[in-house]
Amino acid sequence: NAGVTQTPKFQVLKTGQSMTLQCAQDMNHEYMSWYRQDPGMGLRLIHYSVGAGITDQGEVPNGYNVSRSTTEDFPLRLLSAAPSQTSVYFCASSPPGLPDEQFFGPGTRLTVL
Amino acid sequence: SQKIEQNSEALNIQEGKTATLTCNYTNYSPAYLQWYRQDPGRGPVFLLLIRENEKEKRKERLKVTFDTTLKQSLFHITASQPADSATYLCALNAGNNRKLIWGLGTSLAVNP
């Protein structure tokens, strides 16, 4: 199993550009989530999904969209990038049932100029 | 306000000693609490989970305690090794769901 994979690993955008951060898992996990990690702020939940076709907002959803058309994939879309979205983004997944550990991807380091 | 606090200062200890990290929380009644390890440039890796009705959980050289009266969890690494050097994060669930609230982490350095 590859676990949780994320692409790209690094990305530089200009203000106003849009892009999609990709996340995939091959463990058949129902629950998937996106976090951003900033110095002094810790990990903050952006969006999450409890299964294909179901998504919900986390703590900091503004400026981001998600969709979950398959169990495996959970892309995160930045609609119009802003410098405040410069961060490290992590995707995580966990199997069904409460509670359970979360498996994290390697992260995407995004810089918005 | 609701918050989680971990040792804000980095912890430096000598190899072979026991490292003790603290996670305090306020205004939550979590059903469980988790500890993760994070190395530079990598995603967090799950270590241990402890439920509200459990006082202590062990895994190899790791031990976690959970005191719901004090609203505190302690994370111990016994016989520490330089390879244990990393940032350790605690996380708890904020309600009857999977959403986790995270502490900022404590940086641990084990010196040979």
Residue of B nearest to A10 (CA): B41
Quickly state the pLDDT bin for A102 (edges 50, 70, 90). Answer: very high
Q: CA-CA distance, B93 to B30, in Å (whole number)?
A: 5
Q: CA-CA distance, A2 to A91, in Å (whole number)?
A: 14
| pLDDT value for A76 | 98
* β-sheet bridge partners, residue B107: B87
Whether A107 and A90 have beta carbons less than 8 Å apart is answered as yes
| pLDDT value for B100 | 87
CA B51, distance to chain mean position in Å, is: 13
> If you average pLDDT over every residue of chain A, what do you get?
94
| Nearest chain A Cα distance for residue B82, angstroms | 22
| pLDDT value for A27 | 94
**Contact with chain A for residue B59, Cβ under 8 A:** no
Q: CA-CA distance, A64 to B76, in Å (whole number)?
A: 38
Q: CA-CA distance, A92 to A94, in Å (whole number)?
A: 7
pLDDT tens-digit profile of A35-89?
999 988 889 999 999 999 999 999 999 999 999 999 999 999 999 999 999 999 9
Verify whether the Cβ–Cβ distance B89 to A43 is below 8 Å.
Answer: yes
For chain B, which ranges sit under pLDDT 50?
Answer: none
| Nearest chain B Cα distance for residue A79, angstroms | 24
| pLDDT value for B47 | 97
Task: Using the predicted structure, report yes or no on whether residue A98 has a pLDDT greater than 70.
Answer: no
DSSP for B35-79, written as a single string: EEEE-TTS--EEEEEEETT-SEEEETTEEEEEETTTTEEEEEESS
Sheet holding B19-26, edge to edge: B3-6, B19-26, B72-77, B62-67, B56-59
Mean pLDDT, range A3-17, rounded to an integer: 97
**Contact with chain B for residue A92, Cβ under 8 A:** yes
